[in-house]
């Protein structure tokens, strides 16, 4: 089955620095890719979703890149601020109907120091 490796497990940066989190997946049929953010004491919230046909997607202060050739998904924060401190998870889902189980990475704990 699908396996997702996420790195690094911990990341500490200064305010204004960039931060990059990378996930590598194994199933070439993977089609939906997600980044979730978990703040302390809370559940996971969807940060961004990309489909296999999209290679780049941008949100407020971050960019998601999908490299299908290398089966790699990355979350790039361009100028981190303390409010970005959280645990980030990637998740991958296949395209075939009937498989309702996304595979999650193990998470990256990001700390942004003022």
Partner 1 sequence: GGIITQTPKFLIGQEGQKLTLKCQQNFNHDTMYWYRQDSGKGLRLIYYSITENDLQKGDLSEGYDASREKKSSFSLTVTSAQKNEMAVFLCASSMGDNLSGNTLYFGEGSRLIVV
- Site residues, partner 1 (CB under 8 A): 6, 9, 31-32, 34, 36, 41-46, 49, 51, 89, 91, 93, 95, 97, 100-102, 104-107
At its nearest, how many Å lie between partner 1 and the CB of residue 79?
Answer: 27
Q: Is 51 exposed, middle or buried (0-12, 13-18, 19+ CB in 10 A)?
A: exposed
Cα separation, 73 vs 70, whole angstroms: 9
CB nearer to partner 1: give 12 or 78. 12
Q: Count of alpha carbons within 13 Å of 114, Cβ hemisphere only?
A: 1
Strands 30-38, 44-51: pairing is: antiparallel
CB nearer to partner 1: give 17 or 74. 74
At its nearest, how many Å lie between partner 1 and the CB of residue 109?
Answer: 9
The answer to whether 64 and 35 are in contact (CB under 8 A) is yes
CB nearer to partner 1: give 15 or 55. 55
At its nearest, how many Å lie between partner 1 and the CB of residue 98?
Answer: 9
């Amino acid at each position: 089955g699908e396996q997702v490796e996420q790195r690094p497990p911990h990341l500490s940066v200064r305010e204004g620095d960039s931060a990059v989190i990378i996930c590598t997946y194994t199933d070439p049929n993977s089609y939906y890719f997600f980044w979730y953010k978990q703040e302390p004491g809370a559940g996971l919230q969807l940060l961004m979703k990309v489909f296999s046909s999209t290679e780049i997607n941008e949100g407020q202060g971050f960019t998601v890149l999908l490299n299908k050739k290398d089966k790699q998904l990355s979350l790039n924060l361009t100028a981190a601020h303390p409010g970005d401190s959280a645990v980030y998870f990637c998740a991958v889902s296949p395209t075939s109907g009937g498989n309702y189980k996304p595979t999650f990475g193990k998470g990256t704990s990001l700390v942004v120091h003022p």
